[in-house]
Amino acid sequence: MEETKLVVDQELLKKAEEMIQTQEFGERRLSGIPYKITYIIALGMACFQLYTAFFGTLTATLQRSVHLSFAMTLCFLFYPRSKKSKIKTIPFYDFILAMIAGCSAIYVAVYYQVLVTRIGNPTQVDLVMGCLTVLLILEATRRAVGLPLVLISGLFILYGFIGPYLPDLIAHRGYGFRRVVDHLYLTMEGIFGIPLWVSSTFVFAFVLFGAIFERSGAGTYLLKLAMSLVGHTRGGPAKVSVIASAFFGTISGSGVANTATIGTMTIPMMKKVGFSPELAGGIDTAAGGNGQIMPPVMGAAAFVMAEFLGIPYLQVCVAAAMPAVIDQLALLGAVHLLSVKYDLKGLPRKELPKFIPTLVSGAHFLIPIAVLFYALVVKRLTPLTAASMAIGVAASIFILQGLVASLGWGRQTDQTEKSSGAVETVSWEPLVSSFRKMVDAMFNASRTMAGIGVTCACAGIVVGMVTLTGAGLNMTNVVVTLSAGNLYLGLFVTMIACLILGMGVPTTPNYVIMATIMAPALKAMAPEVPIIAIHLFVFYFGILADGTPPVCLAAYAAAGIAGADPFKTGVNAFKLDMRTFLLPYMFITAPQMLLISTNVFEATWIFITASIGMYALAGGMQGFFITDDKWYDRIILLGSAVALVKPGFYTDVFGLVGVALVYYLQKRRIKKAVI
């Protein structure tokens, strides 16, 4: 019975894989010679990244130049010009664009020694190569993630030229073509800035670790583990989706991949126990997005944050840990309330795997994660070193699995074979298969990094124009003017900007842009607030934008699996995500939640009260606490939630009293109804 619960509908699996491939790898489905060419180039990128991860990165500019050359080349090979273009082959013009793009980016590495002597005084060839690089980055980004990020980058480039003609509030002296190209292409403040540095080092290592981890079968193991824990409880499959997404989110930085991978198995089970298709898809979408805020990976944006702030990556993980756990518990609470509201049951225990045997059967999958945490938390090594160690351990375990299977150790011998005295033969196919899967994981990691690399370079264009023109200071003036100097209005303006920008821009460039132009404004308005709190505020709303209608890619993936309406699925996900909208504001007003200037006892109390507050918020949003809410129940619950999430003696007392009052009122209504 245990196995039957994990048999996946092959049609759903195929649909989910196509969604993930389209979002993560591009729409092309190549075969023959074009496939072999792209495969070799992608493996070349993976080998370069692995070599520099294990034996030391190159000089910053060289590392970024080679990485960008690979990323741009692969982008033009994997992503078609439009949806009408051929997807089973590569047109000749894309081969040409791929070669030009690769050459324009690698030019900086090849002529590095002479280029450093003429920064500020580029030659005509430098300008041509720089202009080609900028244009081809914009085109590659359009293919990979769509038009919005390209338009934003284009507007910032235009802003560099027309500064003198703008209103005084945002005006600057203006710059010529030569200065703009030189700044974007030949300095470390434009294309080859911090976002690309992070992409070329930490991010690739973690993406490769995730790819190896997933190919080894760890995803199925984590799902079984979640099923054994909560599958039998009310609305069990929905809770499985939340917990499995949290597990998977620790090694995956993609909300869409998280949603589609877990949803393939959990959405059909949710529908089976009574969830509507739209609600099942909405729960899976919210859970998939939540995975992005779980340390230690947290997507590429967290690595960029550490570099922007000049702090150890571990410090970002520590600050993000408590809010992430509170948010996961709040989503579990919201799912539980929905299950009770609609009287939904769990799956029969006899059909579920048992926890201890399941835990033991795949304990080897947990070793790479343990090594990663040990290296990051105990030894306090750099993220790149920690990820490299985890990759080495994961790869070794993967190969060892294949070797054990090839030698037949632990294999059950049939009684007939024993009686006949047949000699066991060694088959090397499992070992060969393990090596093949390992190489495929390297290939998939490079395909994923093609899109991430060019979007980081595109975000670098925005950062470069901000540093050149002083747009950050101008934006500070704009935000202060719009908010009349009020911090809460400034936060609200920033939130709206993040949500709007995030509707068409992936999380990492969204964070980079907002951290560059909005974070300085918020810091100027509230100099006493820790800068990491401001950056996490921006980061959280960038993630929330992924599940915000009308453009919510993760919801489209979940809706496709559930056979549901994408917009209604997005609306359900948005309702569940509303609980998370409160947390980032608390980062600003109560930095203790980020474990800043606090102690163990205070942190424990904050965790308890904030968790109760988020549960109350879920009750107010879902219209159900222990029974259906009256309008005044909702008001009390929402007010209590705000009070409890904000640390403080009086606010905690007010919030606890409010929750207790609603509990008493609803309990009394239930008793009256029974009588």
| DSSP string of 254-294, one letter each residue | -HHHHHHHHHHHHHHHHHHTT--HHHHHHHHHHHHHHGGGS
- Contact present, 386 and 372 (Cβ < 8 Å): yes
pLDDT at 99: 96
| Token pair for 595 | 């474990």
Give the span between the Cα atoms of 620 and 135, in whole angstroms.
49
pLDDT at 192: 94
Q: Kindly give the residue spans of alpha helices, DSSP state H, lying in 376-470.
A: 383-407, 415-420, 429-469
Give the mean model confidence (pLDDT) for residues 115-143: 92
Average pLDDT, the chain: 85
pLDDT score of 441 more than 50: yes
User: What band does 5 get if pLDDT is binned at 50, 70 and 90?
Assistant: very low
Distance between alpha carbon 165 and the CA centroid of its chain, in Å?
39
At a CB cut-off of 8 Å and minimum separation 6, what does 32 contact? none
pLDDT at 264: 82
Least confident of 43-47, 165-169, 170-174, 575-579: 575-579
Q: Write the DSSP symbol of residue 199.
A: I
Least confident of 38-42, 103-107, 348-352, 446-450: 348-352
What is the amino acid identity at position 575? K
pLDDT score of 383 more than 90: no
Give the span between the Cα atoms of 54 and 42, in whole angstroms.
18
pLDDT score of 654 more than 90: yes
pLDDT at 290: 76
Residue that wins the pLDDT comparison between 226 and 218 = 226
Taking Cα atoms as reference points, which of 582, 573, 581, 596 lies closest to residue 320?
A: 596
Give the mean model confidence (pLDDT) for residues 360-383: 87
Give the mean model confidence (pLDDT) for residues 124-147: 94
Dump pLDDT digits (tens) for 153-194.
999 999 999 999 998 888 888 999 999 999 999 999 899 999
| Beta-bridge partner residues of 624 | 628
- C-alpha triplet 488, 489, 492: angle, nearest 5°: 90
pLDDT at 210: 82
| Token pair for 616 | 């109350």
User: What band does 4 get if pLDDT is binned at 50, 70 and 90?
Assistant: very low
pLDDT at 302: 82
- Contact present, 447 and 78 (Cβ < 8 Å): yes
pLDDT at 551: 65
User: What band does 262 get if pLDDT is binned at 50, 70 and 90?
Assistant: confident
Dump pLDDT digits (tens) for 64-84.
999 999 999 999 999 998 877
Residue that wins the pLDDT comparison between 44 and 57 = 44
pLDDT at 536: 92
Percent of the chain scoring above 70 in pLDDT: 91
pLDDT score of 369 more than 50: yes
pLDDT score of 23 more than 60: no
- Contact present, 212 and 314 (Cβ < 8 Å): no
Give the mean model confidence (pLDDT) for residues 317-338: 89
What is the amino acid identity at position 574? F
User: What band does 151 get if pLDDT is binned at 50, 70 and 90?
Assistant: very high
Give the span between the Cα atoms of 547 and 554, in whole angstroms.
7
At a CB cut-off of 8 Å and minimum separation 6, what does 240 contact? 223, 226, 227, 230, 231, 266, 269
Dump pLDDT digits (tens) for 497-552.
888 877 767 778 888 888 888 888 888 888 889 999 999 998 888 888 766 776 67
pLDDT at 291: 73
Distance between alpha carbon 365 and the CA centroid of its chain, in Å?
21
- Contact present, 284 and 19 (Cβ < 8 Å): no
pLDDT at 647: 80
pLDDT at 250: 67
User: What band does 458 get if pLDDT is binned at 50, 70 and 90?
Assistant: very high
Give the span between the Cα atoms of 614 and 290, in whole angstroms.
14
Give the mean model confidence (pLDDT) for residues 256-275: 83
Domains of the chain, by residue range, sit at: 11-195, 598-675
pLDDT score of 2 more than 50: no
Q: End-to-end distance of the chain based on CA atoms, in angstroms?
A: 43
Helix or strand or coil: residue 624? Answer: strand
Taking Cα atoms as reference points, which of 313, 321, 307 lies closest to residue 386?
A: 313
Taking Cα atoms as reference points, which of 535, 500, 517 lies closest to residue 463?
A: 517
pLDDT score of 414 more than 60: no
Dihedral (Cα; 314, 315, 318, 321), 10-degree rounding: -90
Residue that wins the pLDDT comparison between 99 and 85 = 99
Percent of the chain scoring above 90 in pLDDT: 29
pLDDT at 426: 66
Give the mean model confidence (pLDDT) for residues 310-320: 88
User: What band does 1 get if pLDDT is binned at 50, 70 and 90?
Assistant: very low
